[in-house]
Chain A
């Protein structure tokens, strides 16, 4: 019986190697799902503060609208809206994969494309409506 050499796992890739690695589309959906989730988590204090200000009193509501009208706030909100929409669309794809829907390679690549094809226009529409 021939012995098969055991590969060392897990393999840790350096950031330099990662930056040169051409991730397939489903991989891009996945890493953006993680990045958007982490970004949303880090901004939770800001989101809760805005939500609180918008609901507490007419004065705090005025402060909320004043903050919302500034360019730095608009840039941050644009990022958060993208993060929410991408996380939402990619999340639905992952739920379908969990139900064993579209798990073949071709179908999975196609659904990854659909995630971007839906999330990017939807983000732009929401930016137009909300900001």
Chain B
């Protein structure tokens, strides 16, 4: 047993926890939405749109997307850190990844709140 005293800004620990918390949110959402779709069995546009126009489903779906994008940020950041050695290129990829994910968050909100 190694008793490591964690000091400093704790960014690594925070991201480690966020990655797992968002994973649990997405896993629960996946099961819930699958169950809802199995019960409602929406056929056609009206019924399909009706499912996501529901206030609670809309909120949970947006929560899923935000969790997905934060989770993706940590995972993709780790991939760049593992494989991209030149610092300039890695920083560029980090910025592009974060920018894309912020944009996707706005996009997801726009899709859902048009309903």
- A residues with a Cβ closer than 8 A to B are 34, 37-38, 40-41, 44-45, 48, 51-52, 54-58, 61-62, 88, 91-92, 95, 98
Q: Are B75 and A41 in contact (CB under 8 A)?
A: yes
Query: 24 A-B residue contacts at CB 8 Å?
Result: A34-B75, A37-B72, A37-B75, A37-B76, A41-B72, A41-B76, A44-B100, A44-B104, A48-B108, A48-B111, A51-B111, A52-B107, A52-B111, A54-B48, A55-B114, A55-B115, A56-B111, A57-B45, A61-B49, A62-B45, A91-B23, A92-B27, A95-B23, A98-B20
C-alpha gap A45/B107 in the complex (Å): 10
Q: How far, in Å, is B80 (CB) from chain A's closest CB?
A: 10
B52 in the interface (beta carbon within 8 A) = yes
Contact (A55, B48) CB under 8 Å given A41-B75, A48-B108, A88-B30: yes
> With a CB–CB cut-off of 8 A, which chain A residues contact B108?
48, 51
Q: Are A95 and B107 in contact (CB under 8 A)?
A: no
A-B CB contacts (within 8 Å), total count: 48
- B residues with a Cβ closer than 8 A to A are 20, 23-24, 27, 30, 45, 48-49, 52, 72, 75-76, 79, 100, 104, 107-108, 111, 114-115
Q: How far, in Å, is A10 (CB) from chain B's closest CB?
A: 10
Q: Are A95 and B20 in contact (CB under 8 A)?
A: yes
Residue in A41, A58, A61, A95 with the greatest tally of chain B CB atoms within 10 Å: A41
Q: Are A56 and B114 in contact (CB under 8 A)?
A: yes
- Among A37, A38, A58, contact of B45 (Cβ-Cβ < 8 Å): A58
C-alpha gap A117/B114 in the complex (Å): 40
